[in-house]
Chains A and B, each alone.
Chain A
Amino acid sequence: MIYLYLFLEFFKVGLFTIGGGYAMIPLIKEAVLSHGWLSEAEFIDMIGLSEVTPGPIAINMATFIGSNQGGILGATVATIGVVLPAFLIMLLISILLKKFIKKRFVQAALGGMKTVAIALIASSAIILFSDILMPVSYVDGNFNISVNLHLIKLFVLIVAGYFLLKIIFKKKVSPVFVILMSAVLGIVFNYLA
């Protein structure tokens, strides 16, 4: 049964994300949290891990979660699930109607979907930011905010580190580099504090 769920959930992720990369994060988050495959903290670790390993984030995640839940077979079905929609749709476009995607109504629908995809990424950014640095909970009609000062200091340090690197190297700092720098700063900061 787990194999079927893995396949279906990742098939949905593959089918409904347009733009690739970060656009997949909100849907993967929904899938893994609702099935209890990962906790939110583990999910964020996974994004970091996927960022520093080669290949598309969606495939990294599908393989890792599939492997955790169902070994090699789980990893295989989850990965096939996330790849299959893209493969089939592209095949169809190549065979039948290369011009289809350029049609004005297709582009119009995509225009709306892309804005939603960005809004979903933005909401993920806000939710993860809050959950890690200042978790908000709503219990019995009261909002509780607990500020994690330790992590906020680390966060500020990382942002400062990023802009410092950007000024020194005078060009774009790749996400891989940001994650590696964050890991080093995390270690140094915790041993010093």
Chain B
Amino acid sequence: MLTLLQGELVEKRKWIDNDELMEMTAISESTPGPIAINLATYLGYSRGGFLGALFATLGVVLPPFAIMFAISMFFQNLLAYEVVQYAFMGIKCGVVFLLCKVTITLLKGNRKDWIAIVIFAVVASLMVIFTIFAVSFSAIYFILMGAVIGLLVYGLIPYKKEQKK
């Protein structure tokens, strides 16, 4: 995705330079929603105001929308074929493998202080336990708690210490 954007936006159209693209990617990663949408809205607005943002976002949403809508029309019929069922048996295993791989990659890139380790261990194990015992608890609450703990531990407490000095 990033290499495609770099080729198209930086080298071909010269809309932005590499540093700007990196900064935009960083901002997109720390705002909610799909990164492609964030980037499109941001770049669209900076080059063409509200309409620019609207059209850039529509541009990035329409292709997957059209393709998935078409697929959804005949997907159920496709699953009736034995060969397709076998393919999806493999795909299921592949997806599980990808998720494990992504988790490891993300963990490597995340901060490694003990607070982060505790948050990770507690949230991951609670989610698994809740699933086994069929307890319904929305993941959204964990995300909100993460925001509060992050604000306290990485923001306010170091800030207070600096103020005292």
Chain A residues with a Cβ under 8 A of chain B: 12, 14-22, 24-27, 30, 34, 41, 44-45, 47-51, 53-60, 63-64, 67-68, 72, 75, 79, 82-83, 85-87, 89-91, 93-95, 101, 104-129, 132-133, 136, 138, 151, 154-155, 158-159, 162, 175, 178-179, 181-187, 189-191
Whether B32 pairs with A187 at a CB distance below 8 angstroms is: no
Across the interface, B110 reaches (CB within 8 A) one of A87, A105, A115, A182, namely A115
Given A91-B53, A181-B94, do A111 and B111 touch, yes or no (CB 8 Å)?
yes
Inter-subunit contact B33/A91 (CB<8 Å):
no
Q: How would you classify the secondary structure of chain A's contact residues: helix, strand, loop or mixed?
A: helix
Q: How far is the CA of A21 from the CA of B29 in the complex (A)?
A: 10
Besides the contacts A75-B65, A115-B120, what 5 more A-B pairs have beta carbons closer than 8 Å?
A20-B29, A49-B71, A90-B38, A178-B98, A182-B93
Contact A101 B34 (CB under 8 A): no
Inter-chain contact A138/B133, CB cutoff 8 Å:
yes
**What is the interface residue range for chain B against chain A?**
35 or more
Closest residue of chain A to B111 (Cβ to Cβ) is A111
Q: Which residue of A lies closest to B123 (CB)?
A: A119
The list of the 5 closest CB pairs from A to B, nearest first, reads A186-B90, A112-B150, A86-B33, A55-B64, A182-B94
Please tell me which one of the listed residues B57, B64, B107 contacts residue A118 in the complex, with CB atoms under 8 A apart: B107
Q: Across the two chains, which residue of chain B brings its CB closest to A127?
A: B131
Q: Indicate whether B31 reaches chain A with its CB closer than 8 angstroms.
A: yes
Q: Which of chain B's residues have a CB closer than 8 A to the CB of A105?
A: 151, 155-156, 159
Structural contact, A113 and B146, CB atoms closer than 8 A: yes
Q: Residues of B at under 8 Å CB distance from A?
A: 27-38, 41-42, 45-46, 50, 53, 57, 60-61, 63-65, 67-69, 71-73, 75, 83, 86-100, 102-103, 106-107, 110-111, 116, 119-125, 127-128, 131-134, 136, 138-140, 142-143, 145-151, 153-156, 159
